[in-house]
């Protein structure tokens, strides 16, 4: 398991339940996953050679990550070096580097925002001329909305380009045309080049600087009819275009008021942010087990992939303004008892410590907990999740 943080911890536990022996790798000796793995190795996973050496020493049968986009190319490279199943370095690059991704999608005629790549301030005018405003600026290879900005003018680009470039390991950024609309997030499984789309859910986002943060997921999507079919086709086409033959995909698309459906990005991993929980509660599919079987080159039977049921649900993330949490330094955090007892609530967590400061939501990482609620309809599930979220007791000074 490449990376052994909070997200990987649960996957490591699941792998052990399935009878596997797990070697966890993380540069942080205190990473929670290392403690639950059979073997924990303190290694910085950006060092492909070192991770490969760990894999060879333990004679591993498979290598994978969960939720960590930066680990995706590392996993692919280690798999290639050790002759293990993997998605391949080229697909891993196309699915983690936004410029490479856009070029590949363009080659295949998949609908997406206009885009331009840039490495320096000298290229900013040409880039913005090509794309127009409003635009979005992002690091070419980062994630979790780090270094993502809305751009209304050349001045905005001047102001934020440095921050975006700094977030990129390769010092590259991308500007894209900004598209309004409803964002849909998908969960898909590719097996031998066949893509199965398990869920498509609404990703609702706050206005303002946190415009990219998924602060609510709603399943099933509120989109229907032809628009929904078009979105499904676009996500599947994007996964094929990027060359993912065996793996889990996390496509993100925006359906605009003009009816256009454009690909934001497609990640080649189980997403963070409770999307694996969404698959479990909404359709009864265990993405972690699928990912483990793919990594080991085992057959993934239809029973594991096909939705078992369709359960409407909502995931409400706990964020500060404009969410339910207050901003400021935390004095105390109450228990989740009332939240968990609320009708329809199936899961909730809070990651907050007294003494830390809650800020207005800007990044994925500003989501400090979540509530998952189910109901007979998606709208009712959302009402329940929102009402339950308001029962969280956090006192700030
Ligand atoms: N071109 C765009 N138009 C409108 N919104 C966008 C655009 N690109 C990104 N966003 C918003 O920002 C979020 C993060 O962008 P994304 O490219 O997925 O970066 P990250 O790798 O940080 O997740 C998207 O999920 C979407 O909500
Ligand atoms: Mg994204």
Q: What mean pLDDT comes out for the span 367-386?
A: 97
Residue 272 alpha carbon to ligand 1 centre in Å: 15
Instruction: Indicate the top mutation candidate among 99, 132, 136 to test ligand 1's pocket, ranked by most ligand atoms within 8 A of CB.
Output: 136
Proximal ligand: closest to the CA of 177: 1
Give the pLDDT confidence score for residue 322 in this predicted structure: 80
Proximal ligand: closest to the CA of 213: 1
Q: Give me the percent of the chain exceeding a pLDDT of 70.
A: 100
Give the pLDDT confidence score for residue 365 in this predicted structure: 87
Give the binding-site residues of ligand 1, using a 6 Å CB cut-off: 113, 136, 138, 143-145, 148, 176-179, 183, 205, 212, 252, 254, 264-265
Q: Residue 88's pLDDT band (boundaries 50, 70, 90)?
A: very high
36 has a pLDDT exceeding 90: yes
CA distances from 27 to 127, 177, 305, 388 (A): 37, 37, 33, 37
Q: Residue 90's pLDDT band (boundaries 50, 70, 90)?
A: very high
3-state secondary structure of 323: coil
Q: Quickly count: other Cβ atoms within 10 Å of residue 300's Cβ.
A: 19
Q: Which residue, judged by its Cα, is nearest atom 14 of ligand 1?
A: 212
Give the atom of ligand 1 at the shortest distance from the alpha carbon of 148: 22
Instruction: Indicate the top mutation candidate among 70, 138, 209, 317 to test ligand 1's pocket, ranked by most ligand atoms within 8 A of CB.
Output: 138
Burial class of residue 222 in the structure, from the number of CB atoms within 10 Å of its CB (0-12 exposed, 13-18 middle, 19+ buried): middle
Q: pLDDT tens digit string along 147-176? A: 999 999 999 999 999 999 999 999 999 999
Residue 90 alpha carbon to ligand 2 centre in Å: 19
Burial class of residue 235 in the structure, from the number of CB atoms within 10 Å of its CB (0-12 exposed, 13-18 middle, 19+ buried): buried
DSSP string for residues in 189-222: EEETTEEEEEEEEEEE--SGGGTT---EEEES-S
Beta bridge partners of 372: 315, 347
Are the beta carbons of 188 and 197 closer than 8 angstroms? yes
d(CA 181, CA 38): 46
Q: Of 281, 367, 274, which Cα lies nearest the Cα of 320? A: 367
Beta bridge partners of 317: 370
Q: Of 222, 287, 218, which Cα lies nearest the Cα of 250? A: 287
Kindly report the backbone phi and psi dihedral angles of residue 264, in degrees, each rounded to the nearest multiple of 5, phi listed first. Answer: -80, -60
Give the pLDDT confidence score for residue 19 in this predicted structure: 97
Q: pLDDT tens digit string along 267-311? A: 999 998 899 999 999 999 999 999 999 999 999 999 999 999 999
Give the pLDDT confidence score for residue 130 in this predicted structure: 97
When the pLDDT of each residue in the chain is averaged and rounded to a whole number, the result is 96
Q: Which residue, judged by its Cα, is nearest atom 1 of ligand 1?
A: 178
Q: pLDDT tens digit string along 322-346? A: 888 999 999 999 999 999 999 999 9
d(CA 254, CA 177): 12
Residue 194, C-beta contacts closer than 8 angstroms, at least 6 positions apart: none
Residue 297 alpha carbon to ligand 2 centre in Å: 27
Give the pLDDT confidence score for residue 138 in this predicted structure: 98
Give the atom of ligand 1 at the shortest distance from the alpha carbon of 145: 22
Q: pLDDT tens digit string along 203-255? A: 999 988 899 999 999 999 999 999 999 999 999 999 999 999 999 999 999 99
Q: What mean pLDDT comes out for the span 188-210?
A: 96
Q: Which residue, judged by its Cα, is nearest atom 21 of ligand 1?
A: 143
Q: Residue 321's pLDDT band (boundaries 50, 70, 90)?
A: confident
Torsion angle in degrees (nearest 10) through CA of 324, 326, 327, 329: -140
Dihedral of alpha carbons 244, 247, 252, 258, sign: positive
């Amino acid at each position: 398991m490449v990376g052994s943080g909070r997200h990987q911890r649960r996957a490591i536990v699941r792998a052990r339940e399935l009878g596997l022996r797990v070697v966890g790798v993380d540069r942080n000796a205190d990473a929670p996953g290392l403690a639950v793995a059979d073997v924990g190795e303190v290694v910085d996973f950006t060092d492909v050679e070192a991770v490969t050496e760990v894999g060879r020493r333990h004679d591993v049968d498979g290598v994978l990550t969960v939720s960590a986009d930066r680990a995706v190319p590392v996993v692919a490279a280690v798999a290639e070096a050790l002759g293990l199943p993997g998605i391949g370095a080229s697909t891993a690059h196309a699915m983690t580097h936004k410029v490479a991704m856009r070029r590949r999608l363009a080659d295949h005629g998949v609908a997406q925002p206009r885009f331009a790549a840039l490495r320096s301030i000298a290229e900013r005018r040409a880039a913005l001329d090509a794309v127009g405003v409003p635009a979005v600026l992002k690091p070419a290879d980062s994630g979790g909305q780090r270094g993502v900005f809305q751009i209304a003018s050349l001045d905005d680009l001047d102001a934020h380009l440095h921050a975006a470039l700094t977030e990129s390991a390769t010092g590259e950024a991308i500007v894209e045309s900004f598209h309004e609309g409803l964002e849909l997030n998908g969960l898909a499984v590719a097996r031998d080049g066949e893509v199965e789309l398990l869920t498509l859910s609404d990703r609702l986002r706050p206005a303002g600087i946190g415009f990219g943060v998924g602060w609510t997921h709603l399943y099933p999507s509120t989109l229907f009819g032809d628009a929904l079919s078009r979105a499904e086709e676009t996500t599947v086409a994007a996964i094929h275009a990027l060359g993912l033959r065996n793996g889990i995909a996390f496509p993100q698309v925006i359906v605009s008021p003009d009816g256009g459906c454009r690909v934001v990005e497609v990640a080649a991993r189980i997403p963070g942010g409770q999307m694996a929980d969404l698959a479990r509660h909404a359709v009864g599919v265990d993405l972690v087990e699928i990912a483990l079987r793919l990594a080991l080159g085992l057959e993934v039977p239809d029973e594991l992939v096909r939705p078992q049921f369709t359960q409407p649900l909502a995931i409400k993330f706990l964020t500060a303004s404009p969410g339910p949490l207050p901003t400021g330094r935390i004095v105390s955090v109450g228990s989740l008892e009332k939240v968990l007892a609320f009708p329809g609530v199936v899961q909730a967590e809070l990651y907050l410590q007294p003494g830390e400061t809650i800020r207005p939501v800007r990044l994925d990482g500003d989501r400090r907990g979540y509530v998952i609620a189910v109901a007979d309809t998606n709208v009712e599930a959302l009402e329940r999740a929102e009402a339950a979220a308001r029962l969280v007791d956090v006192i700030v000074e």
